[in-house]
Amino acid sequence: MEPRPDLRPPSLNADEKTTLLTFLDYLRESVLAKAAGVAEPAVRTAGVPSGTSLLQLLKHLTAVELNWFVWAYTGADRERWEDEAAVSADDTASGLADAYREAIAQANEVALACTDLDRPGARSLRETPPPSMRWVLVHMIEETARHAGHADILREQIDGSIGR
């Protein structure tokens, strides 16, 4: 995923899938931008009592992307990714950012291959029937936007940086 040079929200007027993916990519870029350039140990330091850090957000969002698009939607024959895994001493900002970018690329490949947004996936991460690709995309926009807001607050606490 190449960062867009224009940091404003997308103003694209396109088909539904393109519009949803464009907004999702915009939010993904926002999370990556908030984690970029933050030195150790601040990037891994929890900014709230729940333990959320910028690295934790990257690790969580990586697993969520892979779980919804690859594991649930395609039905990949593998175990689910651990979306609440703790950040380890071996985890680095660049490594987790690269893993997130790779998960995004895999997720986008699945979404782009889908020819019918109403078609349900192979299984669900919840106690519900498998959701449609439309639902997965909208859910991931909601999930990523919520965590982009968390990243905004964490980054402002670290160095006062505000905005996208």
pLDDT in tens, 66-98: 999 999 999 999 999 999 899 999 999 999 999
pLDDT at residue 13 above 80?
A: no
Average of pLDDT values for 51-67?
97
pLDDT at residue 162 above 60?
A: yes
Count how many domains the chain has.
Answer: 1
Does the residue 5 lie in any domain?
Answer: no
Residue 85 three-state SS: coil
Residue 42: CATH number of its domain:
1.20.120.450
Residue 73 to residue 65: CA distance in whole angstroms: 11
The predicted pLDDT at position 161 comes to: 86
Mean residue pLDDT across the chain: 92
Amino acid (one-letter) located at 149: G
Does the residue 59 lie in any domain?
Answer: yes
Does the residue 32 lie in any domain?
Answer: yes
**Residue 144 domain boundaries:** 16-159
User: Which residues have C-beta within 8 Å of that of residue 85, sequence separation ≥ 6?
Assistant: 59, 63
Q: Could you say which DSSP state residue 45 is in?
A: S
Does the residue 118 lie in any domain?
Answer: yes
Does the residue 10 lie in any domain?
Answer: no
Does the residue 11 lie in any domain?
Answer: no
Residue 57 three-state SS: helix
pLDDT at residue 2 above 80?
A: no
Does the residue 8 lie in any domain?
Answer: no
pLDDT at residue 44 above 90?
A: yes
Task: For 91-118, give the DSSP string.
Answer: --HHHHHHHHHHHHHHHHHHHHH-S-TT
Does the residue 136 lie in any domain?
Answer: yes
Average of pLDDT values for 21-46?
95
- Under the banding of pLDDT at 50, 70 and 90, the label for residue 11 is low
What does pTM read for this prediction?
Answer: 0.92
The predicted pLDDT at position 158 comes to: 95
pLDDT tens, residue by residue, 83-142: 989 999 999 999 999 999 999 999 999 999 999 999 999 999 999 999 999 999 999 999
From the list 84, 3, 90, the residue with the least C-alpha distance to 40 is: 90
Average of pLDDT values for 151-162?
92
